Amino acid sequence: MTTNRHDKPTKSRELQIFQYLHPRMKLATEEKQHLDYLYKGYLGELEFYNRLQQTELKNHLILYDLLLPSNHTEFQIDSLLIWQTRIFLFEVKNFEGEFYLEQDNWYVALTGKEIKNPLLQLRRSEFLLRQLLQKWGHDIPIEPYIIFIHPEFTLYQAPQNLPIILPTQLNRFLKKLHASTPVITRKQKRVVDQFIVHHKEQSAYEQLPQYEYDKLKKGIICPSCTGFLKPFTYKKMICETCGRQENIESSVMRSVKEFALLFPHRKITTSRIHEWCETIYSKKTIQKILATHLTPAGEKRYTFYLPKKEIITINNPD
Ligand SMILES: [Zn+2]
């Protein structure tokens, strides 16, 4: 039983860990760039999702963010639209600025720097997806597309037959798709379930920074920015940077969720979370919140708490 239905984009585990670490430690330049890259990609997927939500396609079978096994490797899919007769594979790119194509190579117009040809990744995903579908006994044709979602993306010298949708073409493309969408059948729903069942939570190719509990800055991170919260009233916290207020209970539980994802092998105890949150003075408050939201385990004197699965998989909307 999985809690993630893949009905909207979610942050990858890798992105979440990076975002939790960023305010708590100094990231190297490349690590910061990687975080920006992951976050920008996520925002692009969210934008594509929002565009689909504005059309009637939102009521059809669309899956987001799948990480699928394939022989000895894995592949990641941004979005799938599943019909009985066809599967649309969407790879969303949030590139910004001007690019040009020369033969099969892609370049940034401003600098002339070559970038990785995104069509190669699309071809790979298409190939692995076809293999997987065949393995599951489905003979459904795949129609792959790269969706360039950023309004300021321009591509020069692109041949017309490439499987790419430019920002200015997206509306028409979605309208056309919607106009020909067939009714949903039971077979389609079965295919959807198969994708969800085979989804992997953790990629073998995460590029995470090295981090240690003792060296991380403690405290409660603001849900709106990268600032830290401090006590405001006896029930509320306030952000030192942006002024956002939050009640203590949700502040603590967000921090527990961070702790559980960053340190899956450490026990969640009142003392530990008290230390992790740092700015909540009363241990009793922490203990009460943990007892409300988590399942206690262990001997009474050494009570620790087991996170329910949702705590680790809930996604923040921003
Ligand atoms: Zn803030």
Encode pLDDT of 235-276 as tens digits. 999 999 999 999 999 999 999 999 999 999 999 999 999 999
Q: What is the mean pLDDT of residues 122-135?
A: 96
Q: Which residues pair with 221 in a beta bridge?
A: 228
197-202 average pLDDT score: 92
Q: Whole-model pTM? A: 0.89
**Residue 24 CA to ligand 1 centre (angstroms):** 14
pLDDT in the model for residue 182: 80
In the reported structure, the alpha carbon of residue 238 is separated from the centroid of ligand 1 by a whole-number distance in angstroms of 8
User: How far away, in angstroms, is 222 Cα from ligand 1 center?
Assistant: 5
Q: What is the pLDDT of residues 95-109, one digit of tens each?
A: 999 999 998 899 999
- Give the Cα separation of 176 and 172 in Å (integer): 6
255 within 8 A of 220, measured Cβ to Cβ:
yes
From the CA of 48, how far away is ligand 1's center (Å)?
A: 27
Cα of 227 to ligand 1 centre, how many Å? 5
Tens digits of residue pLDDT in 57-67: 888 889 999 99
CA of 89 to the centre of ligand 1 (A): 37
User: What is the reported pLDDT for 1?
Assistant: 37
Kindly give the distance from the C-alpha atom of residue 279 to the centroid of ligand 1, in angstroms, as a whole number.
15
pLDDT at 315 over 50: no
pLDDT for 269 equals 93
Instruction: Report, as an integer, the average pLDDT of 151-171.
Output: 94
| pLDDT tens digits along 41-61 | 999 999 999 999 999 888 888
| HSE, side-chain direction, 13 A CA sphere, residue 313 | 13
At residue 304 the predicted structure's pLDDT band, cuts being 50, 70 and 90, is: confident
* Cα–Cα dist 37/19, whole Å: 12
Helix (H) or strand (E) holding 17: helix 13-21
Q: pLDDT value at position 308?
A: 66
Burial 181-216 (b: 16+ CB within 10 A, else e): eeeeeeebeebbeebeeebeeeeeeeeebebeeeeb
List the shell of residues around ion ligand 1, using CB closer than 5 Å: 222, 224-225, 227, 239, 241-242, 244
- Ligand 1 geometric centre to CA of 216 (Å): 19
Joined together, the tokens standing for residue 309 give 């699965």
Q: Assess whether pLDDT exceeds 60 at residue 314.
A: no
Mean of all residue pLDDT scores within the chain: 91
